[in-house]
Amino acid sequence: MREFGFELHLCAFLERERDAVLARQLGGGVHSSRRVLDVVCVEPGPNFADRTAITAERIPDLAIESDIGPGRARYYRDGFDCRPDRARHVVDWATDIGFFERERRSGRDYVRQTCRYPDDWFGRVLAIENKPDLGAPGDLETQLRKDVRLGLVDEVVLATASHVTGAHLNRIPEEVGVWRFDPETLSREVIREPMALPVADPGVEIIDEHAGWTEVRIADTDQKSRARRRLAERAYGKGWRSYDFPGCAEVEDTAVAGGGGVPYCDWKGRVVDPGNECGPDCPGFEEADPPVVDGEAERDRRTPWVADPEGQARRQSGLDRFT
């Protein structure tokens, strides 16, 4: 099975097995965005319900890190340490999703948060590297070594469909757990449990590797904490069904591991990657209306993510009168 199909089968399986937020293909760096994590699994924290009540969307990093609070509204440019056009973009974004509310005073925009952002809304974060065929590992060892040395996530797991030998285990960091996952039978064998990574300690981020030398940067505890929150926010807003179904009569929605929203092509006889495999260039393409698939409804039904929260703006209305 190709890696995309393997990844979707694994996500559907984990969605059934775990009470967590799942997402695919997210940047897993602090100083660099070049490292991409195949699957991210974010477990709910103590105040997860407070986060779900705000918005189903990702909250922009600059809005969370700004000096705009839930008390008295303030002139938007005074709350950001960035260019005015960037601040305006963030304010528009945060207002559209219900994290900010805005009012006009003397021709100026004043904003405040509709609620206090719950820092401890997420708990453990698991990163999964998918490599169905260990016979073609690519840069697998380097990728996993980057994750371990940085320690941005709590645990790292390698998921494969291959038979795992001792030689395979010896070539990857001992901190990395190993699963053998069969996408056809939807069964998983834990070959090695992952070790907990020191997320609260500084980490070393491998930026680039060259013959004879490696470029690294230190990620301090504050930088890692902010990067972990950004990773969790992006996972919350994105999910793993981050693709559109193509307008092809051969492609249909299939219930993999009991969960819908997975594109299956009858002509190819397998799950397909719509963005890279579907369209007029495919010999089996037959133009038709795309299947009606409600991925958000599937996610809402099967995970702790909430598709349509009530929001906070009305509860905060008029708060500045008492501050």
**Quick one: pLDDT at residue 257?**
67
Domain extent listing, the chain: 3-48+119-238, 60-116, 251-292
pLDDT band at 32 (very low <50, low <70, confident <90, very high): confident
Average pLDDT over residues 82-91: 95
pTM of the model: 0.92
Angular region, 40: left φ>0, alpha ψ -120 to 50, beta rest: beta
Lowest mean pLDDT among 91-95, 210-214, 294-298, 318-322: 318-322
Average pLDDT over residues 106-126: 95
**Quick one: pLDDT at residue 313?**
52
Q: Pseudo-torsion of CA 301, 117, 310, 237, nearest 10°?
A: -40
pLDDT beyond 60 at 203: yes
pLDDT beyond 80 at 317: no
Rounded CA-CA distance 45/1 in Å is: 35
Nearest CA to 8 out of 16, 189, 285 is that of: 16
Rounded CA-CA distance 210/26 in Å is: 25
pLDDT beyond 70 at 1: no
pLDDT band at 209 (very low <50, low <70, confident <90, very high): confident
Nearest CA to 75 out of 86, 60, 85, 87 is that of: 87
Q: Does 3-48+119-238 carry CATH code 3.40.1350?
A: yes
pLDDT beyond 70 at 194: yes
Tell me how crowded residue 253 is: count the other CB atoms within 10 A of its CB. 18
Lowest mean pLDDT among 57-61, 222-226, 311-315: 311-315
Burial class (CB in 10 A: 0-12, 13-18, 19+), 93: middle
Instruction: Report residue 262 as tokens.
Output: 């997975």
CB 189 within 8 A of CB 14: no
Looking at every residue in the chain, the average pLDDT score rounds to 92
**Quick one: pLDDT at residue 208?**
85
Rounded CA-CA distance 284/270 in Å is: 13
pLDDT band at 319 (very low <50, low <70, confident <90, very high): very low
DSSP string spanning 16-31? Answer: HH-SSEEEEEEE--SS
pLDDT beyond 50 at 67: yes
Rounded CA-CA distance 159/28 in Å is: 17
Helices (H) and strands (E) counted in the chain, each on its own, are 10, 14
Tell me how crowded residue 226 is: count the other CB atoms within 10 A of its CB. 15
Tens digit of each residue's pLDDT (9 = 90 or more) over 258-313: 778 999 999 999 999 999 999 999 999 999 999 989 999 999 999 999 999 986 65
pLDDT cut 70: percent of the chain above it: 95
The better pLDDT of the pair 135, 155 is held by 155
**Quick one: pLDDT at residue 121?**
98
Q: What is the DSSP letter of 260?
A: E
For the chain, the C-alpha Rg in angstroms (whole number) is 22
